[in-house]
Amino acid sequence: MQLDVVTPKGRLYSAEVEEVTAPGVLGEFGVLPGHIPFLTGLKPGVLRWRGSSGEGRLAVGPGFVEVSQGDRVVVLAEVGAKLDQIDAAAARKERDDAQQKLDHWDSEDAGLHRELEARRDWAEARLAATGG
């Protein structure tokens, strides 16, 4: 089945795979050849796949996953990162900084609160992808 991962910066990954596991907003889900078509929301996390060339993973941010007829999986993510693009120490610092601000939150600015949650979640996705 064809897997395509696309961000606003362009195609992040494209390959023929045998299985895809993605972090859906309602929980992690898997896709095998012949899966019924569907569209679902994507939350920040680790996208995994297995194919004839081995296994792979990358960090993805929020977005959508479309499974279509013809065994095609398209991941549209706001952000994404390959393992070699991830600085685990920087991601850990970003996560900790965002979490500290959230732990001591005293503002009524809901937009800023959501932005901090998004930064924390994206940092956690990158750390999970690296195994850290």
Give the tens place of pLDDT for each residue, 90-101. 999 999 999 999
The residue extents of the domains of the chain are 2-83, 87-130
**C-alpha closest to that of 122 among 72, 64, 74, 62:** 62
Q: Output the pTM of the full model.
A: 0.91
Whether 20 has a pLDDT exceeding 90, the answer reads yes
Sign of CA dihedral 65, 79, 22, 1: positive
The pLDDT assigned to 2 comes to 97
Rounded CA-CA distance 41/3 in Å is 16
* CATH number listed for the domain at residues 2-83: 2.60.15.10
* 8 A C-beta contact, residue 37 and residue 68: yes
Whether 132 has a pLDDT exceeding 80, the answer reads no
